[in-house]
Copies of this chain bind each other. A is one copy, B any other.
Amino acid sequence: MKTRDKILLSSLELFNERGERNVTTNHIAAHLAISPGNLYYHFRNKSDIIYEIFLEYEKLVDFYLDIPENRPITLEDLTFYLESVFDGLWSYRFFHRDLEYLLDSDLRLRTDYREFTERCLAAISRIFEKLADAGIIEPQPEELRFAMSLNVWLVITNWMAYLKTAHASEGHGSLNLTHLKQGIYQVLTLEIPYLTAEYREQVMQLREKYRPELPAALGNFDGRVLSQK
């Protein structure tokens, strides 16, 4: 692996583990056992590293959200999109944590992130449209579909922050990919009222696989629900 790629990989690892704010270029160089000078040969500063990592994240999500236009989409596709988006969020989890700060510090990133958001929203909206074409959900007027896509985006991008702030008594390390993917339950909740009779049971079963097991509010709630049954 080239030094440049090693730097990106180690940086991502350190940012995710310790939080971007707590990691300097010196930490990254030390972690790789290279000199700071060597690091600066490849990247002018931390912002440049973060920007390159964002470009990779963007490429990954664009790849995942490439929607087939020559065939109807299936429930398997939907599952793949949802799983992939949460995989991406996990792999680049430092990014959404300090997003506003990162965007304030780098104009390129700010502009690119806005376009990235727009592309993601358009992709979500297109998925809703194709789900309707495939008879999985009822068709929706364009305007409602867009407002729903934005809600899907808001739920997805806020889920990790919710887990971290709601799991108040636990440490950093407690959050894992399984918890994160339970956000899929919340996303599918948004679609329930629009499901067609034909697919309702299948989607509800899929959703059930991701039911959150939260120690906080939701946990108590579930306990109550179960005990009443």
Chain A residues close to B by CB (< 8 Å): 21, 97-101, 103-104, 110-111, 113-114, 117-118, 121-122, 142-144, 146-148, 150-151, 153-155, 157-159, 161-162, 164-169, 172, 185-186, 189-190, 192-194, 216-218, 220-222, 224-225
Give every chain B residue within 8 A of A164 (Cβ-Cβ): 100, 103
* CB pair A169 B114 closer than 8 Å: yes
Q: A158-B158, A222-B143 given as contacts; is B165 within 8 A of A114 (CB)?
A: yes
* CB pair B113 A168 closer than 8 Å: yes
* CB pair A162 B155 closer than 8 Å: no
Give every chain B residue within 8 A of A111 (Cβ-Cβ): 168-169
A36–B185 Cα gap in the complex (Å)?
50
* CB pair B153 A154 closer than 8 Å: no
If A151-B186, A153-B162 are given as contacts, then 8 extra A-B residue pairs at C-beta distance below 8 Å, sorted by A number, are A97-B100, A104-B172, A110-B169, A118-B166, A143-B225, A154-B158, A154-B159, A154-B162
Which secondary structure dominates chain A's binding surface? Answer: helix
A104–B217 Cα gap in the complex (Å)?
20
Give every chain B residue within 8 A of A168 (Cβ-Cβ): 103, 110-111, 113-114
Interface centre among A104, A113, A221 (most CB of B within 10 A): A221
Q: A144-B192, A151-B151, A190-B190 given as contacts; is B118 within 8 A of A217 (CB)?
A: yes
Q: A150-B186, A189-B144 given as contacts; is B118 within 8 A of A216 (CB)?
A: yes
A12 to chain B, nearest CB (A): 19
Q: A165-B114, A217-B121 given as contacts; is B155 within 8 A of A151 (CB)?
A: yes
A100 to chain B, nearest CB (A): 6
A4 to chain B, nearest CB (A): 27
A18 to chain B, nearest CB (A): 12
* CB pair A165 B118 closer than 8 Å: no
Give every chain B residue within 8 A of A193 (Cβ-Cβ): 193-194
A2 to chain B, nearest CB (A): 31
Q: A154-B155, A155-B155, A186-B147 given as contacts; is B217 within 8 A of A161 (CB)?
A: no
